[in-house]
Amino acid sequence: MYWDKEIETIDRPALEALQHKRLKTTLQQARKSLHYDRIFKEVGMDPDAVKTVEDLEKLPMTTKEDLRDHWPYGFLAASRDDLVRMHSSSGTTGQTTIVFHTANDIDQWASIVARSMYMTGMRKSDVFQNMMTYGLFTGGLGFHYGAERIGALTIPAGAGNSKRQIQLMRDFETTTIHIIPSYALHLTHVFEELAVDPRRDTKLKRAFIGAEPHSEKMRKKLEDFYGFKSFNSYGLSEMCGPGVAFECPAQNGLHIWEDHFLVEMIDPQTLKPVPDGEEGELVLTTLVRDGMPILRYRTKDLTRIIPGPCECGRTHRRIERIKGRTDDMMIIKGVNIFPIQIERKLMGIPGVGNNFLIVLERVDFTDLMTVKVEVQREYFMGDLRQLEALRRRIVEELKSDILITPKVDLVEPDSLPVSEGKAKRVLDNRKD
């Protein structure tokens, strides 16, 4: 049941001692980079003198902007000769950031991805189809190396080409897939079109879904359609990529691998720590990386630590599914709204289809939100009063959660843009 029982069930004092040891090595390594060398000098920090993890609080946090400002080599802490791989972030919020890996970094990364997959029950007898983009994006090769580490037959299918994906699943009896949740929902249409029932016609039993926020309702919808059990996978290229935190069979929060990452949770406004259980922004420090260690990285991802032990016996703390990035927050008529709130409501309404888009506009100095929602085709064929009733229901349900009344436009299936990568949920047409 455990990939590495000793480390996964390590008691907290031993884990903290290990973190401390690794932090010291990380700080010494980080000093070799131009950026951290300057920062250490600025704050008068001697990495060799760091006694406790708390000493880290003297250091300013690192942001995506810092990485962008020092593009491409400012954070590099190893000799270029020792690098074996480069990846980048997806660029969801602007210019991508670059991350370099040594052979040891790749090895460490593969080990936590393997640990994560193994935790969900994946074994060498499984057939793993990786439906994520291969290339600079970390979701392709990151999972690929983890799956090979387990010894599973790994199909590097890459993203898109839906019909071929389904064919591969059937021909090679894929048991496990890695897929972006919005794309998995889109793919349900293609299954229906081909009259292939994944429960009957495939051997799928498990899916790793991640890379973008999604709700529990979305998970249920996917599990119901495909008949698999799905596990939330969280990661970010700056830390390595996937494998940072992963759901266990209890499906109640994601264990964050604290032997590899030091976890802080802060209030994004005041930057002060928030206690376990309270929502905050996740801040991470790499503990085993040589090529490009990153200290106190502001992920901009909002979540909370779930207090208390997990029934699976692992001692690494759990985070709740990511609510969204701080950047994703929309402020409409003074109300803070995250796209996941819209998604969660929509996924629970019968008749709603597979895709939606939030459009923001500014008219007469007022921000307006329109939610375009794909609904099932039969609504456009029958009595249009049913369509109107569905529209009203959506307005009411959304209003009960987001507290403002959005405009809702119902559209036909497959009429909104589909992404093979992370879904773009918000189209912001507001002009400043």
- The footprint of Zn ion (CB under 5 A) covers 248, 250, 310, 312, 314
CB of residue 248 vs ligand ADP: minimum separation in angstroms? 14
CB of residue 232 vs Zn ion: minimum separation in angstroms? 12
Enumerate residues 189-208 that contact ligand ADP by CB under 6 A: none
Residues belonging to the chain: 432
Apex 181 CA angle, 180 and 182, nearest 5: 95
The mark string for 235-274 relative to ligand ADP (x by CB under 6 A, - otherwise) is xxx-------------------------------------
The mark string for 151-190 relative to ligand ADP (x by CB under 6 A, - otherwise) is ----------------------------------------
Per CB under 6 A, 111 contacts ligand ADP: no
Smaller CB separation from Zn ion, 314 or 317 = 314
How many other CB atoms are found less than 10 A from the CB of residue 220?
13
DSSP string spanning 48-90? GG--SGGGGGGSPPB-HHHHHHTTTTTT--S-GGGEEEEEE--
Q: Which does 110 bind (CB under 5 to 8 A by kind): ligand ADP, Zn ion, none?
A: none
CB of residue 133 vs ligand ADP: minimum separation in angstroms? 10
Per CB under 6 A, 120 contacts ligand ADP: no
Q: How far apart are CA 200 and CA 116, in angstroms?
A: 27
Smaller CB separation from ligand ADP, 91 or 275 = 91
Per CB under 6 A, 330 contacts ligand ADP: no
CB of residue 247 vs ligand ADP: minimum separation in angstroms? 9
SS3 361: strand
Cα Rg of the chain (Å, integer): 22
Q: How far apart are CA 334 and CA 363, in angstroms?
A: 16
Please list the residues that pair with 371 across neighbouring strands.
Answer: 358, 408
Per CB under 6 A, 135 contacts ligand ADP: no
CB of residue 179 vs ligand ADP: minimum separation in angstroms? 12
CB-based contact 294:314 (threshold 8 Å): no
Which residue type sits at 291?
A: G
Smaller CB separation from ligand ADP, 158 or 351 = 158
Token pair 């995506």 in the structure block, residue: 64
Closest among 113, 141, 99, 136 to 292, alpha carbons compared? 99
CB-based contact 139:104 (threshold 8 Å): no
CB of residue 181 vs ligand ADP: minimum separation in angstroms? 8
Write b or e for each residue in 403-412: b if 16 or more Cβ atoms lie within 10 A of its Cβ, otherwise e.
eeebebebbe
Tokens of 427: 């189209």
Under rule CB under 6 A, how many of the chain's residues touch ligand ADP? 21
Q: Which of 226, 234, 261, 356 binds ligand ADP (CB under 6 A)?
A: 234
Per CB under 6 A, 322 contacts ligand ADP: yes
Binding site for ligand ADP (CB under 6 A): 89-93, 137-138, 210-213, 232-237, 299, 301, 322, 325
